[in-house]
């Protein structure tokens, strides 16, 4: 790897599936632009990193992002080795059972977190995992997932350390996104006495949790989900939190599978959160 210009062993993908095996394959078959730079004496034409985790030439950024194409080829090659029919099967149709509605944060990738392959989870992401009844983007995803793909589970997945939630809590002005974060500020206002009674360090975590609670309620109240329940279609809406510091999911304890369950389950979870007067994030699933 040093001969190819890396200063240290690269690790671009966090999951065991998309790990060093992919990069090892890729480094054995470098891109043409890299191969062309190898002169007759060997690999002297290559020089270190142009940035953290970015192979290239110092002072000369890789504007074509060739290394991303390299990683793509390595990934496709490895998937084919693991399952020769994977892409043929994937190209025919998608049949996911899950819709993931999460935050756009680059540290919260849906498939990797729950260990699912492409084609196994339908995904919508936005800043602070907000579901708004006027957001045609989100509602289009929701309708396609429920009415066409017939997903059985919708997961709203927030995460601790969410920058959008933090900005909303601090009423921080960040630009155009201020309009979007008004929806999170509305969650704060609805539960202000609960949040403001906590130590400052705990307020952010609690707002992350309450934001998931409210977005689950918003999904359950859409005509899309209400109509699905009315015709007997099985679909459940779940509220989860992801922790960046350990990579584990937390179950908010809110699962709604019928319209009459929403009010009771909402109040139960709200009471449970209100009882956590200190900085007590939810326990990871399976560790309680």
What positions carry a catalytic annotation? Answer: 103, 105, 107, 159, 162
Q: Residue 217: name the closest of 258, 251, 266, 276 by CA.
A: 266
Q: Residue 235: name the closest of 260, 265, 215, 255 by CA.
A: 255
Tokens standing for residue 81: 């080795």
C-alpha span between 87 and 5 (Å, rounded): 32
Q: Which residues pair with 54 in a beta bridge?
A: 51
Q: In 75-191, where do the E strands start and end?
A: 98-103, 121-126, 153-159
- Would you tell me how many other CB atoms lie within 10 Å of the CB of residue 284? 16
Residue listed under structure tokens 């992919």:
22
* Residue ranges in 43-109 assigned as alpha helix (H): 66-82, 86-92
Tokens standing for residue 44: 């002297």
């Amino acid at each position: 790897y040093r001969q190819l210009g890396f200063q240290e062993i690269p690790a671009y993908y966090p999951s065991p599936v998309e790990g060093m095996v992919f990069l090892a394959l890729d480094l054995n078959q470098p891109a043409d632009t890299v191969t062309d730079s190898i002169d007759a004496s060997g690999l002297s034409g290559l020089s270190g990193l142009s940035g953290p985790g970015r192979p290239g030439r110092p002072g000369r950024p890789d504007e074509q992002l060739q290394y991303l194409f390299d990683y793509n080829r390595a990934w496709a090659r490895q998937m084919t080795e693991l399952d020769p029919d994977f892409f043929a099967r994937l190209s025919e149709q998608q049949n996911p059972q899950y819709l993931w509605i999460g935050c756009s944060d680059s540290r919260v990738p849906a498939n990797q977190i729950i260990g699912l392959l492409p084609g196994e989870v339908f995904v919508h992401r936005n800043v602070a995992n907000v579901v708004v009844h006027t957001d045609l983007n989100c509602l289009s995803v929701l309708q396609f997932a429920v009415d066409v793909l017939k997903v059985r589970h919708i997961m709203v997945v927030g995460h601790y350390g969410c920058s959008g939630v933090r900005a909303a809590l601090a009423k921080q002005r960040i630009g155009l996104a201020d309009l979007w974060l008004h929806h999170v500020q509305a969650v704060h206002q609805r539960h202000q006495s609960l949040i403001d009674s906590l130590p400052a360090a705990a307020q952010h975590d609690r707002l992350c949790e309450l934001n998931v609670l409210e977005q689950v309620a918003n999904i359950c109240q859409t005509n899309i989900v209400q109509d699905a329940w009315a015709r007997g279609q099985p679909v459940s809406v779940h509220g989860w939190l992801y922790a960046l510091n350990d990579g584990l999911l937390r179950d908010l304890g809110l699962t709604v599978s019928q319209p009459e369950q929403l009010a009771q389950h909402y109040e139960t979870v709200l009471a449970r959160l209100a009882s956590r007067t200190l900085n007590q994030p939810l326990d990871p699933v399976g560790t309680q």
